[in-house]
Chains A and B, each alone.
Chain A
Amino acid sequence: MSAPFDLTDDSVVVVIGTGAGGGVLANELAQKGVSVVALEAGGRYLPEDYINDEWESFGQLAWADPRTTSGDWRVSKDFSGLPAWIVKAVGGTTTHWAGASLRFQDHEWKAHSTYGDVEGANLLDWPIDPREMDDYYTRAENKLGVTRTGGRAGLPGNNNFKVFEKGARELGYKAVHTGRMAINSADYDERPACQQTGFCFQGCKWGAKWSTAYTDIPRGEATGNLEVRERCHVLRIEHNEAGKVTGVIYADADGNQQEQKMRVACVAGNSIESPRLLLNSASPMFPDGLANSSGQVGRNYMRHVTGSVYAVFDQPVRMWRGTTMAGIIQDEAVHDPSRGFVGGYELETLALGLPFMAAFLDPGAWGRELTTALDHYENMAGMWIVGEDMPQETNRITLNTDVTDQHGLPVANVHFDDHPNDVAMRDHAYSQGKAVYEAVGATRVFPTPPYPSTHNLGTNRMSSNPRDGVVNTYGQSHDLGNLFISDGSQFTTGAAENPTLTIVALAIRQAEYIAAELGRQNL
C-alpha cells in the first residue's frame, strides 16, 4: 500500500515529529520500504517562505504553545513562558539550528565511568559502544554534507570568526577552525554553497544548511512510503491490554480529533513534548504515564551548560555578516578535572541581530549600562558556550494541570536548577571567552546568560537496566516493545557537543533496527 494511508491501517509506523530525529527516521524507514505516517504539529515552510527578520521569523517558526517554568535558572525569571527556543514546523528545529555537527568524544559515551560519582548528578553510561557509532556518524556526516569531514572543505571565516580566531591563537588554543558544519562550503547533494547571508537561525533561504524540511522529508515522500500530515498535533498514545501501543489520537489541522492505527510508534517531539506526551497518555494500566515503570520519564532534563560572551572593540566587526556559527575552539572540550569540573565545553562564534541582541544581551536590564553596549553594536563580536551539563533527577518535565493548551491538555512545566558542576564550568568558560576577546583588544566584555534552550535533552533516557531509564540501546521502550523514542530525549548524557549529528546518527541506527525487527516479525 502506498501513501496516503488509511486511518485504520494498522501496518504503518507512526513517527511523531519531523525534526532531526523524526524527519530522518521517517525517510530512512521509507527508503527501506516501510510504510510511515509522520504527524507534525507545525506547518510546512520552505526556503522561499523563511523570513530574514528575527522577530517576524520567530512568529513564523517558534514553538509558542503555552509552557511554564520553575527552578533557579534565569530563563525562568526572564522568559517564564518560553523555556525553549525551538521550532514548530515540518523539519522541526533543523530549520533553526546553526549547523554545528560534532561527534561525541569516546569518553562522553561513558560519562559515569569516566567522571565517577558526582554528588547530585544522575550519571549513567550510554548502553552504546562508541566504536559502533563510527559508521553511523560517517553516514550522518555524508547525509548532512558536514564540512571538514568526508573530504569536504571548511567554510571561509567571517569577521566574527577572525576576531575569535586571533584571540584564541593569542591564548595558545590549537583546535580552532571554522567548524564542522552542515552548511555547504561547495554545492553538495543538490544544495548550493553558503552565501554568507546570516540569519541561519531563521531558516536558510538558500537551502545551503541541511534541514529535513527540504531533504529527508521530500525524499521520503518521493518513495511513496511516507505520508506527512502537517498541523496534526498528537494528544495521546493508545495501548491494548497486552501492553502494545495501538494508535495515536491527534488533533488535525481543523481541530478535529482523529485516531491513526499503527504497528509501531516513534516519538520525536523534542525533550519537552515527548515526555509530556507519554505523561499525558497515562492509563489505568500505566498510571504514571506510558513507558514510565522506571519513573524516569521527564527526568534528567539537560540543556547544556550555555551562556554567551559578547565583546565591544574600538573598531567595527559587523558580526551579523555571514554564517551565524562561524567557528569553534575545541581545546576546552576535553575532560580535565583540574579545571574544577568534570566534562568539557566548546566555544563557538554566535551573532544576533540588533533586535535579538537588545532582548538577550542582559534580559530585563535597562539604562545606560545596557544602552552604551548596544550603541556599539557594530563593533561587537560574540561567542556561545556549549558544555556538558549534569543530569539531575529533579530537573524535569512535569504536567502542569493548572495550565492547559489549545487542546485542553496540561502543559509542560520545565524545572531546571544548575548543578554546581554546571556553574563551575560556565564561570570557567566566561573567563576564557573574556580572555579570548581581551587578547585582541576588547574594550568591554559581557557575560550573557543562557537563552531559552535550543538543546533539550535527556527526558526519556537510554539505559541498559530498565530500572535506570526509559529506553534501551535502540531507543525502544523497556516497557512497551513497539514504542520508540527517536529524538534527543533518549540521550543518557549530553556530552559537550551540539546534539543534532548524534540525533541523526541514532535515527539512522534506529531505522535499521526497526526495519530488521519488522522483517523478523518481532514488532
Chain B
Amino acid sequence: MSLSKQGMTRRQLLSQSALFGAGFVIGAGFVAGKASASNWALEVEHLNPGTMATLIQMARDIYPHDQVGDQHYATAVKGYDTAEAAEGVEAGVAALNDAARGVGYARYIDIGWERDRADLLRGFEDTAFFQQVRGGLVTGLYNQKAVWPIFGYEGESFSEGGYIDRGFDDIHWL
C-alpha cells in the first residue's frame, strides 16, 4: 500500500507515531502496520487514525483469516474515509468503544484477545453499524484480486484458453 504522505518515508512517519492496540501505529493522518515485516500504511483524511485502526481490527475480527495480512483488511475498509461516511463511522466506532468500556476496557482496540473481541462483537452484531461493516467486507475483502491467490482462487481463465489443457480434470487423490 502506498505511503506517500508529504513525501515521508515509512521510517519518518513512524518516528512521529504512537502505538495503537497490539498491531497498529497511528500518527497524524495515517495508520500503519507495526511489525517491521508488514510494510504498509494508510493515509486517512476524514476519519481519526484511531478510528481507521479500529475498523481494520474489527474487519479482521469479523472475517479472520490468519494468512491474510492487515493491509488487505485496510484496503477493505479504506472506502469509509470519505466526508459522507465519516460521521456515521465515528459514531459507530464510538458505540463500539462504549461497549468495550462496559466490559472494562478503555477502547475496543485495547481488548487484547481475539476471543474477547469476538464475544463483544456478538453482542454488537444487530447494530446497523456492525451490519454495514460486515456487509461491506463481503465484497471489500473477498473481491480484492490481491487476496484471491492466498485462497488458491485463480479468477478468470479465458485469457489463457480456459482449463481444457490446464488441469480442469487433474485431480489425483480420488
Using a CB–CB cutoff of 8 Å, the interface residues on chain A facing chain B are 52-55, 156-159, 162-163, 166, 194-199, 205-206, 315-318, 320-322, 353-355, 357-359, 364, 366-368, 370-371, 374-375, 377-378, 440
Q: Do A358 and B163 contact each other (CB < 8 Å), given the known contacts A159-B169, A368-B64?
A: no
Is B38 in the interface zone, CB < 8 Å from A?
A: no
Chain A residues whose CB sits within 8 angstroms of the CB of B163 once the complex forms: 158, 195-198, 321-322
| Additional A-B contacts beyond A52-B158, A163-B174, A359-B142 (17; CB < 8 A) | A52-B157, A158-B163, A159-B169, A162-B171, A195-B161, A197-B162, A199-B156, A318-B152, A318-B154, A321-B157, A322-B162, A322-B168, A322-B169, A353-B153, A354-B142, A366-B121, A378-B153
Closest chain-A Cβ to B67's Cβ sits at a distance in Å of 7
Point out the residues of chain A lying under 8 angstroms from B156, CB to CB: 52-53, 199
Decide if B170 is an interface residue (CB 8 Å cutoff).
yes
Instruction: Tell me how far the C-beta of A79 lies from the nearest C-beta in chain B, rounded to whole angstroms.
Output: 11
Interface contact A159-B142, CB-CB below 8 Å = no
Please determine whether B125 and A156 come into contact, CB atoms closer than 8 angstroms: no
Which single residue of chain B is at the shortest CB-CB distance from A326? B168
Complex interface bits, B31-47 against A, C-beta within 8 A gives 1, otherwise 0: 00000000000000000
Given A321-B163, A321-B168, A371-B65, A166-B154 contact (CB < 8 Å): no
In the assembled complex, 26 residue pairs joining A and B whose CB atoms fall closer than 8 Å, in A order, are A52-B158, A156-B168, A156-B169, A158-B168, A159-B170, A194-B164, A195-B162, A196-B163, A197-B158, A197-B161, A197-B164, A199-B156, A206-B158, A316-B171, A318-B154, A320-B154, A321-B154, A321-B166, A355-B142, A359-B142, A366-B134, A371-B64, A374-B142, A375-B151, A378-B152, A440-B174
Which residues of chain A are within 8 angstroms of B162 by Cβ–Cβ distance?
194-198, 206, 322
Q: Shortest distance in angstroms between B171's beta carbon and chain A's nearest beta carbon? A: 4
Binding site of A, secondary structure by majority: helix, strand, loop or mixed?
Answer: loop
Please report whether the interface of chain B is mostly helix, strand, loop or mixed according to DSSP: loop
B residues with CB within 8 A of A: 62-65, 67, 118, 121, 125, 134, 138-139, 141-143, 148, 151-158, 161-164, 166-171, 173-174
CB nearest to A167 among chain B residues: B174
Determine if B168 and A166 form an interchain contact, defined as CB atoms under 8 angstroms apart.
no
Q: What is the bound-complex CA distance between A377 and B139, given in angstroms?
A: 16
Contacts of B174 in A (CB 8 A): 162-163, 166, 440
Pick the contact of B118: A52, A53, A367, A377 (CB < 8 A).
A367
Taking a contact as CB atoms under 8 Å apart, the answer to whether A199 and B151 are in contact is no
Question: What is the CB-to-nearest-CB distance from A10 to chain B, in angstroms, rounded to a whole number?
Answer: 45
A358 to B62, CA, bound (A): 13
